[in-house]
Amino acid sequence: MNPDKVVCYCLNITNGMIKEAVDAGASTLEEVQEATGAGTVCGACREDVRHLVEQFVRERN
């Protein structure tokens, strides 16, 4: 995974920023949205963000 790859273009949120939010305790799409804002503007990235969150939560546990 490239941590610098942008997932949410509206807010320039990268893979690494999603992972940081999950490592800091966010476990759902909604919690990551609150922490980073990812997926809260146009919504186009929401499913991609959701899949990343699920993956990072699995890796965290």
Distance CA 45, CA 61 (A): 25
Count of residues near ligand FES by CB under 6 A: 11
8-state DSSP, 8: E
Instruction: Please select the residue that binds ligand FES; options are 22, 29, 32, 45, rule is CB under 6 A.
Output: 45
Segment contacting ligand FES (CB under 6 A): 6-14, 23-31, 53-61? 6-14
Q: Is the separation of the CB atoms in 18 and 38 below 8 Å?
A: yes
Q: Is the separation of the CB atoms in 4 and 29 below 8 Å?
A: no
Determine, following the binding rule CB under 6 A, whether residue 12 of this chain makes contact with ligand FES: no
**Contacts to ligand FES by CB under 6 A:** 8-10, 38-45
